Each structure stands twice: as C-alpha cells, then as structure tokens.
Amino acid sequence: MKLSVVILNWNGRKHLERFLPSVVQHTSGEAEVVVADNGSTDDSLQWLHDNYPQVRTIVLDQNYGFAGGYNRSLQQVDSDYVLLLNSDVEVTSGWWQPLVELLDNEKDVAAVAPKLRSVDNPDMFEYAGASGGFIDYLGYPFCRGRILSAVERDEGQYDDRRDIFWASGAALCCRREVYVELGGLDEDFFAHMEEIDLQWRMQLAGWRIMVEPRSVVYHLGGGTLPISSRKVYLNHRNNLAMLFKCSSPMQRITVAVVRPFTDMLEAVAYLVTLHPHKAWAIVRAWGRFIAWHSMLSRKRKEVKRVKSVEHIYRNSIVVRYLFGCRKFKNMM
C-alpha cells in the first residue's frame, strides 16, 4: 500500500460508530484503513469484527498511550506513508490524495497535515491543529486559525499550502521510514506534545513539515472541553522536556529564565480561580521535569542535528494575546 491510515483506539466504540464510516467510505485504492486497539476493555473489537470485517485490526496487550500505541502499531505496517488519525475525526471525499501527492512531489518533506475544522462548528477551525501549527520562543504552540483560546472562523484566509512548525497528531501524514529512523514518538511523554516533539526532531534532521489545506477533515477534539489537572500536568511536563531536548542553547537559556516565572503566574491564576489541583499539576510537572534531567540530557545528545530550525516565533504569543492580538495574520 502507498498509505496506511492508522486509527488508535482505546475504549472508543462510540467514536468508531460515529466517525469510522466516513473514513472507510472515503479511503480506498492505494490506501488502507487500520484500527490499532490500545488494550481496550470495552467491546470495540467485537463491534469492529461484526460491522467492519474488512478493516484490518492490530491488537495491543495494554494501553501504551498515544506515543507507545502508535510506535508499536506502526511496526506492523509496511506502507510508504502512514497517517495517524484520531478516532474522533470525520473525513471528506478525496481527503488523503492531496497529502500523498505532496509527499510524492516534495522529497524533503517528512510530514504533512490537512486543514482541521470543528465537527460541532463546521465553519470554525478546530482548536488542536487548524491550518498548521507554530511555536513561540517560550514553547507555547499556536496555529493558523487559533491563538491560545481564540479560534477563528475559516473563511479561506489560510488556504495556502506552506511550511509550518508542527501538524496536529489528530491527522498527521508522514513518511514511515523517517518516523522509524528518528525513533517515533517519545514514549516517556505518554500523551500531549509528543507529535510536536517528533516534528521538531524531523526538522533538526533536515526535513520540512507542511500543511495542505486542499485536504479537509473535521475533528471533534477537546479544545472546548474543561481542561483536567492531568492534561495540565502532561502539557507542562512534556513541553519543558521537549524544549530541553530540541531547542538551541540560546533558547534554552531564555526558557530557563522566563518559564519558571510565567508558569508560577499561571499556577497562581489557577489558585485564584479555585482550581488548586491544576496549580499543583504545574508544580508536579516541574518536579518531574527536574527529575528527568539526566534522561533528557542523554536524549538531547541523541537528537540528530543537521540544520537550524525555522518557523519558531521570536516573540511571546501570551504577551501579544494579552495586548489584543487574537488572529494569526496579525501575530506574524
């Protein structure tokens, strides 16, 4: 196969019932659909067997998280390209062909993303990826179509195909060979930020990341849901780890000086708004990051570095946001 669309499932029968039909309907020819089950305890596998026997399944013995689940699953596919697709994504006709076409034609591109819109609000960009992602100097990610919590309406303003810094793991198409060569997703992350970390390493190794807005998918996602303390912990811990592993010496120094202050302010804001568990999650994230120092130092040495990385925003999106800048076109 040219392309394997791999959906990682964990106790997600409801998502499979709602979203898998569109994926099966619109994925054919040189592309296959694979559901990798991450140790589910519900009846997902039985439902798949009864309703979609033509869909290939990969069964893992336990929940290895987003990173570990995909790393183990992609060892069992042999296509040229792999497309990591969340189970809560609805696709459209002709959705995967532009992605494969771009990888066929742009030999130095390791990964490409479709444009993500919201399932619940189809005219709006989706929080997790919109039309391609970037990152600022302190490590805060943002998108063409979403700055912090401000999500834009899709009016075609970001329909140009271009280089980006990261593509959402909700729908990420990449060269399997590059994915494997660079060690895949960092399993110590478990979930959150792992796809940005991988794509940063891809760029350091000399590859490019792009968005192809001719491909459109709709993501349910969790950007509009309340943020749990677990998510706060993983986002902060993994973001700090990623910056330590991948950033330049100058950026690391800037982060080391500024981020403790900004994270402390965020923790205080959680306390003031009566969310002490989230404030404590930030403290725990820093504790784990410090405990990981030796491991991260080893991983930093293992990162392949053949070129400097572009598309890092040399400013703070938090500061710009606080001063009223809420749209990508104004940010850049």
Instruction: Calculate the alpha carbon distances from 78 to 1, 2, 130 in Å.
Output: 8, 9, 29
Residue 294 pLDDT exceeds 90: yes
Q: Could you report the per-residue pLDDT of 10-49, keeping only the tens digit for each?
A: 999 999 999 999 999 999 999 999 999 999 999 999 999 9
Q: Could you report the per-residue pLDDT of 157-203, keeping only the tens digit for each?
A: 999 999 999 999 999 999 999 999 999 999 999 989 999 999 999 99
Residue 248 pLDDT exceeds 60: yes
Q: How many domains does the chain have?
A: 2
Identify whether residues 172 and 262 lie together within a single domain.
no
Instruction: Calculate the alpha carbon distances from 170 to 54, 135, 193, 278, 300 in Å.
Output: 23, 17, 12, 25, 26
**Domain membership of residue 252 as a residue range:** 229-331
Query: How many residues would you count in the chain?
Result: 332
Is the residue at 224 inside a domain? no
| Confidence label for 115 from pLDDT (cuts 50, 70 and 90) | very high
| Last residue within a domain, chosen from 169, 194, 219 | 219
Residue 226 pLDDT exceeds 70: no
- CA–CA separation, 268 and 252 (whole Å): 24
Residue 221 pLDDT exceeds 90: no
CATH number, domain of 107, equals 3.90.550.10
Per cent of the chain over pLDDT 90 is: 95
Q: Mean pLDDT over all residues of the chain? A: 95
Q: Residue 224: its pLDDT value, please?
A: 44
Instruction: Calculate the alpha carbon distances from 110 to 132, 176, 206 in Å.
Output: 15, 9, 9
| Confidence label for 310 from pLDDT (cuts 50, 70 and 90) | confident
Q: Residue 140: its pLDDT value, please?
A: 96
Identify whether residues 126 and 243 lie together within a single domain.
no
Is the residue at 171 inside a domain? yes
Q: Residue 222: its pLDDT value, please?
A: 65
The C-alpha angle 84, 88, 92, rounded to 5 degrees, equals 80
Residue 134 pLDDT exceeds 50: yes
Q: Could you report the per-residue pLDDT of 262-289, keeping only the tens digit for each?
A: 999 999 999 999 999 999 999 999 999 9
β-strand 141-143 against 133-136: which pairing, if any? Answer: antiparallel
Query: Among residues 186, 194, 276, 277, which one has the least CA distance to residue 235?
Result: 194
